[in-house]
Amino acid sequence: MTALFVLGVGALGLVVGSFLNVVVHRVPAGRSVVRPGSACPACASPIRPRDNVPVVSWLLLRGRCRDCSSAVPARYPGVEAATALLFAALAARHPSVVLPALLYVAAAGTALLLIDLDHHRLPDAIVLPSYLAVAVLLAGAGLATGDAPVVRTLLSAACWLAAYGSIWLLTLGRGMGLGDVKLSGVLGLPLGWLGWGPSVVGLFAGFVVGSVVGVGLLATGRADRRTRIAQGPFMIVGAAVGVFAGAAVGDLWLAVVAPPFLGT
């Protein structure tokens, strides 16, 4: 039953991933994600339903448009497959009432990561409604269990907002964009629900990953001190680390690292 559940959630991820391709393409341009239907960017021919099956259609068409034979980027099935794997991994790691909230954040985070890489933007059209969506989904989880860690969840979001907001203020917006600050609270909410370990580990992991990548880009000459590097992807990757490994890392800290500092 557990395996079937994970596979089912993974299949849902394929469908969501297909929709995310539309979101990533249209939202930065201010276009509707509902109308018109998907069409080939090269010849404007509408995509037939049989050619819109996640991953499979791309493979059957050998990565080309049925009408004009123009190449369809491998990124499209890549996003679909990656979303499916992420959804399945979340279902396996957190098969509980908090899963819908985690799946929503995973989907929104995937879209935001790609948009930030492409445009160095985190659109309010995705970020701001996510506060309400995540709050409603977490409230539903709390009602289902009768035990909602409301205070910890809100404090976690506040800590994330304070951390990123402080950096934004201290650097006068040069260290990161205001979109990063807005996103931080969205990520802090579900991580706080999972516990302080996931929240704190996820927060610091984002800075660590960003620092490592930044040093690597500087060392290889692919960036200099004036290059603006998108922070959103690192925040999202760090949050994923918190979701999947935060509890274990937090327990390790309390058992091994913390005692010497605390004198215990």
Q: What is the pLDDT of residues 50-103, one digit of tens each?
A: 888 999 999 999 989 888 989 999 999 999 999 999 999 999 999 999 999 999
Average pLDDT on 123-147 reads: 95
Domain count, the chain: 2
Residues 139 and 261 in one domain: yes
Does 120 lie in the same domain as 77?
A: no
pTM, rounded to two decimals: 0.93
Q: What is the pLDDT of residue 41?
A: 82
- Based on the domain organization, do 43 and 111 belong to the same domain? no
Percent of the chain scored above 90 by pLDDT? 71
Taking phi over 0 as left and psi of -120 to 50 as alpha, with beta for the rest, 45 belongs to: beta
In this prediction, residues 212-225 reach a mean pLDDT of: 85
Task: Kindly report the average pLDDT of the chain as a whole number.
Answer: 91
| Euclidean distance between CA atoms 101 and 109, whole angstroms | 12
Domain limit, last residue, from 93, 122, 157:
93
Residue 228 sits in the same domain as residue 108: yes
CA distance 60 to 150: 48
Say if residue 216 is in the same domain as residue 262.
yes
Same domain as 212, residue 171: yes
- CA-CA distance, 170 to 159, in Å (whole number)? 16
The mean per-residue pLDDT over the stretch 204-226 comes to 88
The reply to whether 83 and 130 lie within a common domain is no
Question: Are 16 and 118 within one domain?
Answer: no
Q: How far apart are the first and last CA of the chain?
A: 44
Domain span at residue 224 reads 102-264
Same domain membership, residue 79 and residue 36: yes
